[in-house]
């Protein structure tokens, strides 16, 4: 199989769709086993990662279903916000509000059974604040939308710590920050690692 090297903001989904391939099938192919061992998330790869492509670049027609939905819009995108309880269970029915400079008024949504609330945002909204009331506490957190490096890379872990904590502490290794933040939050390092990677369910 020929191999392709990712550049810029390319990802598995964009690469597959350009070639009329199913992103999940491309990720799970035997030829990409080494990439799966290196990266935990198929939709979060790094510039320079190489992907094995089928010899027939025509591929087959992309099949979409409820399990795999690609949301494409010319003017808006969907921002998911996950809410978890102190014991790491999905928190449903939590009201979430989103503020951003270009929004004429705050947007409001509610977390579903999986603890996820979705905001439909204009493409020019790349940062703002999310607010919620949870267990008699008002919580406000900033958000920044952009490309994340894979969590296996130091830069990717730093980005996720910044998003999770709302601030960035330079010149300290991510592992050291994760251990300190986990201690402060009453979590184990493994729990916080799972949260950063996005594997908390």
Query: Looking at residue 146, what is its pLDDT?
Result: 67
Dist CA 83 CA 119 (whole Å): 14
CB–CB of 201/90 below 8 Å?
yes
Query: Looking at residue 70, what is its pLDDT?
Result: 42
Query: Looking at residue 108, what is its pLDDT?
Result: 95
What token pair was written down for 10? 């390319």
* Residues near 53 by beta carbon (within 8 Å), at least 6 away in sequence: 1, 2, 3, 4, 19, 21, 26
Nearest one of 112, 106, 2 to 51, comparing CA atoms: 2
- C-beta pairs of 153-159 under 8 Å, 24+ apart in sequence: 153/46, 156/44, 156/46, 157/196
Q: pLDDT of the chain along its 201 residues, tens only?
A: 688 888 877 777 778 877 888 888 888 889 999 999 988 877 778 888 899 888 654 444 434 343 444 444 446 777 888 887 777 688 899 999 999 988 999 999 999 998 888 898 887 788 889 998 877 778 888 877 766 778 788 777 777 766 655 444 555 667 777 777 777 767 788 877 777 666 443
- What does the DSSP 8-state code read for residue 125? -
pTM to 2 decimals?
A: 0.47
């Amino acid at each position: 199989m020929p191999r392709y090297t990712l550049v810029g903001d390319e990802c598995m989904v964009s690469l597959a769709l350009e070639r009329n391939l199913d992103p999940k099938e491309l990720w799970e192919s035997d030829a990409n086993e080494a990439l799966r061992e290196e990266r935990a998330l198929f939709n979060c790869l790094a510039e320079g990662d190489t992907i094995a492509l089928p010899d027939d670049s025509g591929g087959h027609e992309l099949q979409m279903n409820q399990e795999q939905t690609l949301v494409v819009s010319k003017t808006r995108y969907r921002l998911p916000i996950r809410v978890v309880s102190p014991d790491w269970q999905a928190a449903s029915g939590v009201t979430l509000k989103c503020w951003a400079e270009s929004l004429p008024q705050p947007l409001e949504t509610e977390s579903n059974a999986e603890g996820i609330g979705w905001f439909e945002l204009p493409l020019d909204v790349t940062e703002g604040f999310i607010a919620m009331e949870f267990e008699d506490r008002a919580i406000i957190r900033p958000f920044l939308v952009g490309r994340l490096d894979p969590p296996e890379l130091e830069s990717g872990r730093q980005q996720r710590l910044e998003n999770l904590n709302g601030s960035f502490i330079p010149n300290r290794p991510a592992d050291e920050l994760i251990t300190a933040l986990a201690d402060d939050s009453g979590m184990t390092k493994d729990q916080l690692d799972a949260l950063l990677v996005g594997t908390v369910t």
